[in-house]
Amino acid sequence: MVLANLSNIEFFLIMARAVFLVFSFALAAVTFTAWRRAARRESEQMLAQNRELLEQLARIGARMDCTEQQIRQLGEQLDHSEARSASVARAAPGYQIAIRLARSGASADELAGGCGLTRAEADLVRRLHGPAQAELRQAS
C-alpha cells in the first residue's frame, strides 16, 4: 500500500538508492578482498625477507666463528715464533763469541767446544768469519 501512494519519481529514487547501496556494498566487498590479498602478499614478502636475513645472519655468524678461530691460531703461532726467536736470541751470544774467536784465528774444535756449537756450525762460522775471510773483506 505504501508503494501505491508513491509517485513514479519517488519510486524511481527509492530504487536508485537501493541499487546504489547494493553497488556500494559490492564495491566495498571487492575492495576489502583486494586489500586482504595485498596484505597477505606483503606479509609473505616480509616473511621471506626475514628468513633471508636470518640465513645471512647465520652465515655471518659462522664466518665470524671461523675468523675468530683463525685469529686464535695465528696468535698461537705468533706466540710460538716469539718463543723461538727468544730462544734464538739467547743462543745468539754464543754465535757472537764464536764469530769473534773465528776472526782471531780459533780452530773449529775450539769454536765447537767453547761456544756450544756443533762441528758443522763451527766449520761454517770459521769459513765465513775466519782470518782468511777477514783479509779478503779488507782487500775489497
Average pLDDT over residues 32-49: 97
Structural domain harbouring 44: 2-139
8 A C-beta contact, residue 119 and residue 108: yes
Residue 133, pLDDT > 90, answer no
Question: What's the number of domains the chain is made of?
Answer: 1
**What are the backbone dihedrals phi and psi of residue 107, each rounded to the nearest 5 degrees, phi first?**
-80, 170
Cell of 136: 779478503
Cell of 98: 764464536
Residue 29, pLDDT > 90, answer yes
Confidence of residue 81 (pLDDT cuts 50, 70, 90): confident
Residue 121, pLDDT > 80, answer yes
